């Protein structure tokens, strides 16, 4: 599925040949958020190689005009019981709704895992009680 957002980025599944560019985006976010690089290519390569992860359905890139990757989101399931997800947006594209859109894609995909979970699993949130 390809989506066009109001700010012109196109959202689609990432390609294998975009791994380095995605890591550059992740590192730009790392520097903006915590002052240092923390996203080596082998880390993303390992995530993509995980047996329950399917890049075509569990990850998305936002591509701005000029083919620049400005956002990345991924949902990593573990036996369809637990998931780990994140959204990263290039700092100069913050506040344009790209992250909100990517988060909605993650939430929609996570709902597809519920019927795949073992019968003993119960959906719950890990948020601390208020």
Number of domains composing the chain? 1
pLDDT average per 10 residues of sequence, the chain (130 residues): 60 96 94 87 92 93 92 85 86 92 93 77 54
Q: What is the DSSP letter of 17?
A: G
- Asked whether residue 130 is assigned to any structural domain, the reply reads no
- Asked whether residue 120 is assigned to any structural domain, the reply reads no
- Asked whether residue 99 is assigned to any structural domain, the reply reads yes
Q: What is the pLDDT of residue 128?
A: 52
The CATH number for 58's domain is: 3.40.630.30
CA-based nearest residue to 73, from 82, 55, 57, 61? 61
The stretches of 59-127 forming alpha helices (DSSP H) are 98-113
- Asked whether residue 28 is assigned to any structural domain, the reply reads yes
> What is the spatial distance between Cα 31 and Cα 9, in angstroms, rounded to a whole number?
22
Domain that holds residue 79: 3-115
* Residues recorded for the chain: 130
Q: Are 12 and 63 in contact (CB under 8 A)?
A: yes
Q: What is the pLDDT of residue 93?
A: 92
Q: What is the pLDDT of residue 1?
A: 55
CA-based nearest residue to 41, from 59, 58, 54, 22? 22
Q: What is the pLDDT of residue 37?
A: 84
Give the global pTM.
Answer: 0.81
Q: What is the pLDDT of residue 130?
A: 44
């Amino acid at each position: 599925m390809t989506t066009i957002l109001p700010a012109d980025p196109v959202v689609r599944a990432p390609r294998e040949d975009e791994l380095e560019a995605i890591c550059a985006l992740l590192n730009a976010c790392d520097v903006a958020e915590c002052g240092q690089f923390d996203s080596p290519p082998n880390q993303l390569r390992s995530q993509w190689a995980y047996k329950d992860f399917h890049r075509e359905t569990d990850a998305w890139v936002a591509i701005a005009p000029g083919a620049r990757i400005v956002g990345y989101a991924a949902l990593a399931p573990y036996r369809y019981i637990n998931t780990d997800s994140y959204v990263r947006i290039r700092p100069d594209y913050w506040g344009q709704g790209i992250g909100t859109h990517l988060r909605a894609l993650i939430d929609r995909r996570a709902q597809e895992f519920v019927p795949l979970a073992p019968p003993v699993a119960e959906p719950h949130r890990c948020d601390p009680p208020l």
